A and B are shown apart, each in its own frame.
Chain A
Amino acid sequence: EVQLVESGGGLVQPGGSLRLSCAASGFTFSNYWLSWVRQAPGKGLEWVANIKEDGSEKYYVDSVKGRFTISRDNAKNSVYLEMNSLRAEDTAIYYCARRRTMDVWGQGTTVTVSS
């Protein structure tokens, strides 16, 4: 079964940092782009970042450029989102998804930025 499982969310103060992880199983991880998408409370979906199969290309939404870093470890079938200088507006459920077209989604991990 194709599966993505996110972890690493939690409560963090403004200006703090957090590292999200997404563990994949059931498919050949190194053959796929991976994406992060977030959903603020009661709001719609927002693409955050994605990374090419070999990690050679990475793209970010403007609002997180310079603060978030996407990476992957194909040996561990995992993709990560390092989040620094967190702001209240980063509060959301963060989903990882397979491909740029997001054909498979994880269950999400919740990030709350609050003092």
Chain B
Amino acid sequence: DVVMTQSPLSLPVTLGQPASISCRSSQSLVYSDGNTYLNWFQQRPGQSPRRLIYKVSNRDSGVPDRFSGSGSGTDFTLKISRVEAEDVGVYYCMQGTHWPPWTFGQGTKVEVK
């Protein structure tokens, strides 16, 4: 199984400042079709998860452009250019290249300092 490792697991942030979350996979996530199936999800307190980013860098509809995804192979990053109060929550990466199973990272908790 592909293991997804996120860091840090806790990220205290200052509102208006940037934030960055790393996600590393135990194998390359490049699929045979050339795509890389790495997604990012946000889970606000008390809410269901919400997909933010798919295939490394594609923002879902309605996702603010302060969120961006990047990376390749085994190393990926989610960046928030300027953190807002509504961004507090837990962020998960997930791979959909080597399945089954589809595997998530442990989650990174973003909180305001």
> Given the complex of chains A and B, what is the CA–CA distance between A62 and B103 in angstroms?
12
| B83 contacts across to A, CB distance below 8 A | none
Q: Which of B12-20, B73-81, B93-101 binds A?
A: B93-101
Interface residue count for A (Cβ, 8 Å)?
Answer: 21
| B39 contacts across to A, CB distance below 8 A | 101-102
A44–B96 touching, CB < 8 Å = no
Interface contact tally, CB-CB below 8 A = 56
| A101-B54, A102-B41, A103-B60 known; A47 vs B48 contact (CB < 8 Å) | no
CB distance from B91 to the nearest CB of A (A): 11
Q: Kindly state the interface size class of chain B when it binds its partner.
A: 20 to 34
A95–B100 touching, CB < 8 Å = no
Q: CB-nearest residue of chain A relative to B50?
A: A105
A95–B104 touching, CB < 8 Å = no
| B104 contacts across to A, CB distance below 8 A | 44-47
| A59 contacts across to B, CB distance below 8 A | 99-101
A61–B100 touching, CB < 8 Å = yes
A106–B92 touching, CB < 8 Å = no
A105–B48 touching, CB < 8 Å = yes
- Asked if B51 is an interface residue, CB under 8 A from chain A, the answer is yes
Which of the residues B50, B51, B92 comes within 8 Å of A44, measured between beta carbons? B92
> Given the complex of chains A and B, what is the CA–CA distance between A46 and B102 in angstroms?
8
Interface residues of B (CB under 8 A from A): 37, 39, 41, 43, 48-51, 54, 60, 90, 92, 94, 96, 99-107
Interface residues of A (CB under 8 A from B): 35, 37, 44-47, 50, 59-62, 95, 100-108
